[in-house]
């Protein structure tokens, strides 16, 4: 099975934190998925100096568009670990035929926020996009081609929430461990 990563998982350093095996950049295969777009609306409880609503990238179904990300071949055990890291997201299946630029031998798993209480609306109070999260995404750009980068630059412009500088952590300790420290710490 494959995992579709479209946020911090496009960054090899960030992705590595959720895997026991050593990932190579070639394990993160750039793909174009039909029928989804990246949106800034997934709420996670995070802490800077105080607890806030951290706003992260999410997927939204939209048959009129395509979006870029990466697929990583994963095992059942790795999926269970990723479910801890992505605990507030629902695990969805994307048909392999929706992958437009690569032929895969199985469907794709993705994490998408579907719970209405975890989806931010414009004007949602005490809600911020962490600049460090944007840095994680942008620091991976050297590994991808121009078309891939332009797709991400579109979703990184005209952000719908204020960007907050500083170091943050996830309020949930197990989620924070997987996202920040990783499995091997």
Mean pLDDT of the chain: 93
Q: Match 């690569």 to its residue by tokens.
A: 102
Per-residue model confidence (pLDDT) at position 173: 79
User: How is residue 70 written in tokens?
Assistant: 């990466």
Per-residue model confidence (pLDDT) at position 170: 87
The pTM of the full predicted model, rounded to 2 decimals, is 0.92
Give the pairing of strands 162-164 and 127-130. Answer: parallel
What is the tens place of the pLDDT at every residue in 44-98?
999 998 999 999 999 999 999 999 999 999 999 999 989 888 888 999 999 999 9
Distance CA 110, CA 172 (A): 21
Report yes or no: 145 and 30 within 8 Å, Cβ to Cβ.
yes
Per-residue model confidence (pLDDT) at position 180: 61
Rounded-to-5 percentages of helix, strand, coil across the chain: 30, 35, 35
What is the tens place of the pLDDT at every residue in 121-142?
998 899 999 999 999 999 999 9
Report yes or no: 137 and 155 within 8 Å, Cβ to Cβ.
no
């Amino acid at each position: 099975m494959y995992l579709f990563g479209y946020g911090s998982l496009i960054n090899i350093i960030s992705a590595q934190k959720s895997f026991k095996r050593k990932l190579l950049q070639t394990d993160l295969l750039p793909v174009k998925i039909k029928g989804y777009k990246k949106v800034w609306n997934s709420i996670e409880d995070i802490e800077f100096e105080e607890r806030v609503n951290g706003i992260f990238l999410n997927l939204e179904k939209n048959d009129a568009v395509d979006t870029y990300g990466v697929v990583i071949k994963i095992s059942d055990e790795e999926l269970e670990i990723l479910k801890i890291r992505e605990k507030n997201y629902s695990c969805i299946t994307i048909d392999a035929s929706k992958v437009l630029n690569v032929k895969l031998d199985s469907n794709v798993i993705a994490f998408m926020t579907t719970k209405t209480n975890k989806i931010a609306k414009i004007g949602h109070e005490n809600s911020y996009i962490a600049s460090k999260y944007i840095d994680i995404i942008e620091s991976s750009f050297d590994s991808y081609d121009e078309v891939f980068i332009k797709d991400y630059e579109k979703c990184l412009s005209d952000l719908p929430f204020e960007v907050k500088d500083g170091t943050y952590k996830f309020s949930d300790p197990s989620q924070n461990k997987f996202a920040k420290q990783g499995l091997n710490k």
